[in-house]
Amino acid sequence: MYLTREEEKVLDGEYGEGQRLAMKILCALGDFFEAERLISVQSAHVSGVSYKTGGDALISTLEKFAGSGAKTSILTTLNPGGVDLERWRDLRVDENFLEKQKKIISLYAEMGVLPTCSCTPYEVGNIPAEGVHVAFAESSAVTLVNSYFKAKTNRESGISALASAVTGKTPLYGLHLDENRHPTVKVSVHAPLKSPTHYGVLGYLLGKTLKNSIPLIQSRHTLSLTAAKQLSAAIAASGAVSLYYWERDHIKSPTIEETVEIDDHQLNEVFNSFSLTDKPDLIVLGCPHYSIYELKMVSEMLNGKVSKRLSFWVFTSRQVKLLGERMGFVQKIEKAGGKVLCDTCPIVAPLKGFKTMLTDSVKAAHYAPSMNKVSSALLPIEECVKTALEA
C-alpha cells in the first residue's frame, strides 16, 4: 500500500509508539485487502468493550495500546460494555466483573474514546453525513450509517476502528470505493411491514438469503430511523450485508443480477421460528439501544403493572436515559415495574437466572440462545408490552 511521506514517518515511530502501533495495524489491513492507499476518516466507533466477551485478554491489549501513548485524533464513540455501571447488582454480576469492566472503559477513555457505551452512536452525537468516510465497528451501526445516512464505512473490527481513531485514517478498499457500492440484487417486498420488528424480520430473511450482496429493497412502505435500526441490525446479524438501498420507486440498475420476492408468508415463518414453549421470564426491549422516541412509546404503552412473574428491561444509552428522566418516561416505566438499563446490552451482558426471553428485536432473539443460553421469542413492541402486563 502506498504511504505518503507523513504516513511513513508515523509508521517509523516519529510521532510516538501509539501512532506507530495504530499505523502498523492499518498497513497490515490495507495490504491484506490490497488497498491502494489510506484515506482520512471523519469519525470512528469502537466495539470490543464487554468484559464478558473480551475477558482479561482485552484488558491486556488495551493496556498495551494506552500505555504506548495512543490518543484518538477524531471523534470516537464506544459500544456497550457488559454491565450497567450504576445498576450492576440488577444484572447479578459480582464486584470483580464490575471492576474489570470499569477498567476496560477507563482505558478507552484514557485514549480519548468517549465512553458513550452505546451501539447507536448516531443518537449520541456521532452522526456521519452523506458521502463522508468513517471507520465504524458494530455491525448494526455499520449497516445503518452506510444505508440510512449514506456515509461510507467498512465493517471494522474493534481494533481496526481504534487504529483509525488514533491515526484518523483507514485503507481505501471495500465500501469506501463507489464502484463497490452498487446494488447487486433487487428485492420486491409484497408484505405489509406493520412494525419496526417486521422490518427486522425482513432484514433477517435477507441477510440469510443474500449473505454479502447489496440489495435494492422496494416496498410501498417508508423507512423511518426506528425501522432502519431494526432492519440494519438484523440484516447484519444473519448475514454480512453492510449496505442496502431502500427505494419506493422502481429504479433500474445495470448491476442488478437477480430479483428476490418477499411475501407475508415468509415473514411469518421467521416469526414462528422464534417461539417459546414456556412463558417468558424476561422481556427485553432496546436492541439496538432505544432512542428517546422509543422510550417515550414504551412509557405510553405501559398502562398498568408489569407482572411479578417476569422482568421487563429496556436498554438505552446513558444520554438518552438522562433525557428520559427529565421527561418522566423512565419514572413511568419503573413505576410500572420495569427497569431502564444503560452502558450495556442484552447480548453482551450476562443474563443470569433467566430461561426464556421475549423481545421485539430479531438480532437479540437470534443471539440470545448462543450468547446467553436462553430461548427466545419475537413479537412487535406492543405485544411485548401487552405480555408484560398480562403474563
Residues that bind ligand F3S in the complex, under the rule CB under 6 A: 79-80, 119, 140, 233, 287-289, 315, 345, 347-348, 363-364
Least Å from the CB of residue 350 to ligand F3S: 13
- What gap in Å lies between CA 168 and CA 74, rounded to an integer? 6
Positive/negative CA dihedral, 247, 251, 252, 255: negative
* Residue 246 Cα to chain centre, angstroms: 19
Question: For ligand F3S, which is the closer residue by CB, 280 or 346?
Answer: 346
Task: Between 198 and 289, name the residue whose CB sits nearer to ligand F3S.
Answer: 289
Q: Closest separation between CB of residue 119 and ligand F3S, Å?
A: 3
Least distance (Å) from ligand F3S to the CB of residue 227?
Answer: 15
Letter for the amino acid at 366?
Answer: H
Q: DSSP states of 248-266 as a string?
A: SS----TT--EEEEE-HHH
Closest CA to 121 of 80, 151, 87: 80
Would you say 142 and 155 are in contact if contact means Cβ atoms under 8 Å apart?
Answer: yes
Contacts of range 372-377, beta carbons closer than 8 Å, 24 or more positions apart: 372/346, 372/347, 374/282, 375/276, 375/277, 375/278, 376/274, 376/276, 377/274, 377/275, 377/276, 377/280
Instruction: Please say which residue, 233 or 333, places its beta carbon nearer to ligand F3S.
Output: 233
Q: 332 vs 363, which CB is nearer to ligand F3S?
A: 363
Nearer to ligand F3S, 22 or 227 (CB): 227
* All three cell numbers of 334: 419503573
Nearest to ligand F3S of 30, 81 (CB atom): 81
Order across the sheet with 43-46: list the strands.
75-78, 43-46, 135-136
Least separation in angstroms between residue 343's CB and ligand F3S is 11
Q: State in angstroms the smallest separation of the CB of 195 from ligand F3S.
A: 17
- Which residues in 17-158 belong to E strands, given as ranges? 38-40, 43-46, 75-78, 135-136
Q: Can you tell me which residue has the cell 428491561? A: 313
In whole angstroms, how close is the CB of 233 to ligand F3S at the nearest point? 5
Q: Whole-number minimum distance, CB 312 to ligand F3S, in Å?
A: 16
* Smaller CB separation from ligand F3S, 271 or 290: 290
Pull the grid cell for residue 235. 440484516
